[in-house]
Structure 1
Amino acid sequence: MTWTLTLKQPPALRLDLRALLPAALAGRSVAAVETLPLWQGRQSLPLAEFFQVGRGDGPEDLLVLEGDLARCDRIGWQLAAGRIEVRGSVGDLVGTGMSGGEILVDGHAGLLAGCEMQGGRLTVLGDVGDFAAAPLPGSMEGVRGGVLLVHGCAGARLADRMRRGLVLVHGDAGDFAASRLVAGTVAVGGTAGLHPGFHMRRGTLLCAGGGVAATPSFVPTRHEVGVIWQLLARSLAGYGGAFDGLPARRVQRLAGDVATGGRGEILLPQ
Structure 2
Amino acid sequence: MSGWRLQLKQAPALRVDLRGITPVALAELSAAQIERLPVAYGNGRLPLAEFFTIEAGSHEGLLFEGELSRFDRIGWQMTGGQLRVDGSVGDYAGGCMTAGTLHISGHAGLLAACEMAGGTLRIDGDVGDFAASTLPGSIDGMRGGSLIVRGNAGHRLADRMRRGTVLVFGDVGDFLASRMVAGTVAVGGTAGAHVGYAMRRGSVVLSAGAGAADLAPTFVPAGAEAAVFWQLLARDLSRHGGPFEALPQRSIQRHLGDRGTGGKGELIFVG
Q: TM-score range by the shorter chain?
A: over 0.9
Considering only aligned residues, what root-mean-square deviation do their CA atoms show, in Å? 0.8
Paired AA for residue 70 in structure 2: R
**1:223-234 → structure 2 map (5 Å cutoff):** 223-234=224-235
Give a deviation string over 1:130-188, Cα, whole Å, max 9, x none: 00000000001001100000000000000000001100100011000000000000100
Which residue of the partner structure matches residue 150 of structure 2? 151
In 2, Cα distance between the equivalents of 1:262 and 1:81?
A: 35
- 1:26 corresponds to 2:32: no
Q: Deviations over 1:66-85 (max 9, x none)?
A: 00000000001100110100
1:101 counterpart SS class: strand
Q: Which amino acid aligns with 2:189?
A: G
Give the residue type in structure 2 aligned to 1:177: L
Moved more, 222-231 or 88-97: 222-231
Larger displacement relative to structure 2 (134-143 or 26-35): 26-35
Paired residue type of 2:47: P
1:250 Cα deviation after fit: 0.6
Detail structure 1 runs of 4+ shifted over 6 Å in the superposition. none
Amino acid at match of 2:257: G
1:81 alignment partner in structure 2: 80
> Could you tell me which residue of structure 1 aligns to residue 196 of structure 2?
197
Residue of structure 1 in register with 2:248 after alignment:
247
Superposed displacement of residue 212, structure 1: 1.4
Distance 2:57 2:155 in 1: 40
- CA deviation string 1:3-57 (max 9, x = no partner): 0001111110000001211121122221111111111122111111110011022
2:39 paired residue number: 38
Tell me the SS of whatever aligns to 2:79: coil
Deviation at 1:219, TM superposition (A): 1.2
Cross-structure match for 1:116: 115
CA deviation after TM superposition for structure 1 residue 199, in Å: 0.3
Matched to 1:23, the amino acid is: V
Q: 1:198-217 residue pairs with structure 2 within 5 A?
A: 198-210=197-209, 211-217=212-218
Equivalent position of 2:267 in the other structure: 266
SS at match of 1:81: strand
Distance in 1 (CA, whole Å) between partners of 2:81 and 2:96 is 15
- Percent identical pairs in the alignment equals 57
Task: Give the alignment of 1:155-174 within 5 angstroms.
Answer: 155-174=154-173
- Listed as ranges, the gaps of 5+ residues in structure 1 are none
CA distance in 1, matches of 2:20, 2:239: 34
TM-score, scaled to structure 2: 0.97
TM-score (norm 1): 0.98
Gaps of 5+ in 2: none
Please state how far the C-alpha of 1:222 moved relative to its aligned partner.
Answer: 2.5
Taking the aligned partners of 1:21 and 1:130, their CA distance within structure 2 comes to: 24
CA distance in 1, matches of 2:8, 2:258: 46
Q: 1-side partners of 2:13 and 2:42: how far apart?
A: 11
Structure 2 CA distance for aligned equivalents of residues 28 and 265 of structure 1: 48
